[in-house]
Structure 1
Amino acid sequence: MPGVIFLSEITRGSLKMKITLVTVGKLKEKYLKEAISEYSKRLSRYCKLDIIEVNDEKTPDNASEKEEILIKNKEGEAILKHIKDNMLVVAMDLKGKMLSSEEFGTFIKDAGVRGNSDIAFIIGGSLGISDEVLRRADHKLCISKMTFPHQLFRVILLEQIYRGFRIINGEPYHK
């Protein structure tokens, strides 16, 4: 049947999902770049991975709430330029739903089964994600209630995506 994706295609790895990370800010630290490179290499057997960095806006010390909203909105506009209509958009948000690694793997698998093989994960800047981007998101997920530097969070998210694909494919992973 054209357009129908069978579960066995995903679990055998013959379906190449496309995962896009749209992130605010540039990576500066060498060790983070190396970790991103390693997970990108590992993920290449499961999906096509694109990482898009949009500029972060400088936040003045003691910025007012209005200034912070303007900064988030400007970053949000830059994020939305990279979101296509057919993408399943997942905003990483502290108010989002928390999933175990197994549930996250199921989330990715179910997206593919429903024909959403192009998933965009959004990582905001230090102030978070704009309301406009949150409204565009199909899902809001939270990895932890703890706050992480958004550059380090890229590595954490890529590791969880990699772990999710290993779970989907019935491959060993650390519990």
Structure 2
Amino acid sequence: MRIAISAIGKLKDAEERAIVERYVKRLNGAGRPLGLGPIDIHEIPESRAPDTGERKRDESVRLIKDIGGGDTVVVLEPTGKLLTSEAFAGFVRDTRDGGCKSCFFLIGGPDGHGEAALGRASLKLSLGALTLPHGLARVVLIEQLYRAATILSGHPYHRA
């Protein structure tokens, strides 16, 4: 199952980008034998629309533009479902085993997601009650995807 992260905004911080690249490399290696990956990351520029509603609509439409009818969509949303790492790994496994060819993880802009993305979501996922900068949310997401692969393979990285 191909994995894609589509995010509004670019990672500007070199340290965050280096961490993301490290976990992408790890996930591509660990995921291959499990039928996970490769992982693609798409950075979408923030909308320049004048008001919040228009920005959310514009960004939402651009986030879902390349998603096919049979693809699974996970929207990162502060009010979404909280999962343990084990439960998240189970979601990834079940999605893969259910015949999904691609799973898209969507990270919205500073104003949040528009209805088009929220309506397309198979899962609204929260990374926790704390507000995270978008770059750090991307780091946490990619690390959890790698952790899911290690849980599914029985690798000792996850020791909980």
TM-score by length of 2: 0.91
Does 2:88 match 1:98? no
Q: How many residues align?
A: 153
State the percentage of identical aligned residues: 35
Query: Which residue of the other structure, out of 100, 107, 113, is the alignment partner of 1:116?
Result: 100
AA at the equivalent of 1:83: I
Question: 1:57, CA displacement in angstroms?
Answer: 2.2
* 8 A Cα contact 1:111 1:117, kept in partner: no
* 8 A Cα contact 1:36 1:154, kept in partner: yes
**Cα distance in 1 between the residues matched to 2:136 and 2:47:** 18
Three-state SS of the structure 1 residue aligned to 2:2 is: strand
Aligned to 1:48: 38
Aligned to 1:27: 11
AA at the equivalent of 1:137: A
Query: Which residue of the other structure, out of 149, 161, 169, is the alignment partner of 2:145?
Result: 161
Question: 1:117, CA displacement in angstroms?
Answer: 3.7
Provide structure 2 residue ranges, at least 5 long, that are not aligned to the other structure.
32-36
Question: 1:174, CA displacement in angstroms?
Answer: 4.1
AA at the equivalent of 1:51: I
Three-state SS of the structure 1 residue aligned to 2:38 is: strand
CA RMSD of aligned residues (A): 1.4
Three-state SS of the structure 2 residue aligned to 1:19 is: strand
AA at the equivalent of 1:153: A
Three-state SS of the structure 1 residue aligned to 2:86 is: helix
Aligned to 1:70: 54
Three-state SS of the structure 2 residue aligned to 1:20 is: strand
* 8 A Cα contact 1:25 1:54, kept in partner: yes
AA at the equivalent of 2:47: E
Question: 1:96, CA displacement in angstroms?
Answer: 1.0
**Cα distance in 1 between the residues matched to 2:9 and 2:128:** 21
Three-state SS of the structure 2 residue aligned to 1:91 is: strand
AA at the equivalent of 1:50: D
* 8 A Cα contact 1:40 1:49, kept in partner: yes
Question: 1:59, CA displacement in angstroms?
Answer: 7.6
Aligned to 2:34: none
**Cα distance in 2 between the residues matched to 1:82 and 1:117:** 13
TM-score by length of 1: 0.83
Provide structure 1 residue ranges, at least 5 long, that are not aligned to the other structure.
1-16, 61-66
CA-to-partner distance for each residue in 1:38-75, whole Å, 9 max, x for gaps?
01100112021000111112587xxxxxx211111111
